Amino acid sequence: MSEHPVESVWDYPRPPALVPFAGLVEVDVAGQSLARTTSALRVLETSHPPTYYMPLADVDTSLLRPVDGGRTICEFKGVASYFDVVVGDRVISRAVWTYPDPTPAFADLRGHVSLMPGLMDECRVDGEVVVAQEGDFYGGWVTSWITGPFKGGPGTRGW
């Protein structure tokens, strides 16, 4: 059972909030540790499971390859740049992103990366294996203490 209080994504704000998370966040891919941190930040937005951002100092950046072009814009956070994850012959395209020059409200995201948990072998929050938010557009991390319904699945884009 989780030691975290239950959170409903419908209680999260819009515009989103950026909050520190002192728990343990771990990401494994292709038998390697991509990230391990107790200094993550969470973005909390109405109808979305949290998205975790990890400081680059706690990420094995040797597994990241910058992607040329293909940036996206978030109305709240700014312009995102992407990385492929490369482990041996395995390449996971555009799986990781960062905001190199975030908006003032999200300035603390500078020097952090997030990722699509469904593209990794395993993501854990305080030892609990994360379920990826449904769909391929959002990067939410679903744990036992996060309740929905969640945006991202079929028919939810217009919520």
pLDDT at 121: 97
Please write the tens of the pLDDT for every residue from 10-67. Answer: 999 999 999 999 999 999 999 999 999 999 999 999 999 999 999 999 999 999 999 9
Please write the tens of the pLDDT for every residue from 67-116. Answer: 998 789 999 999 999 999 999 999 999 999 999 999 999 999 999 999 99
3-state secondary structure the chain: CCCCCCEEHHHCCCCCEEEEECCCEEEEECCEEEEEECCEEEEECCCCCCEEEEEHHHECHHHEEECCCCCEEECCCEEEEEEEEEECCEEEEEEEEECCCCCHHHHHHCCEEEECHHHCCEEEECCEECEECCCCCCCCEECCCEECCCCCCCCCCCC
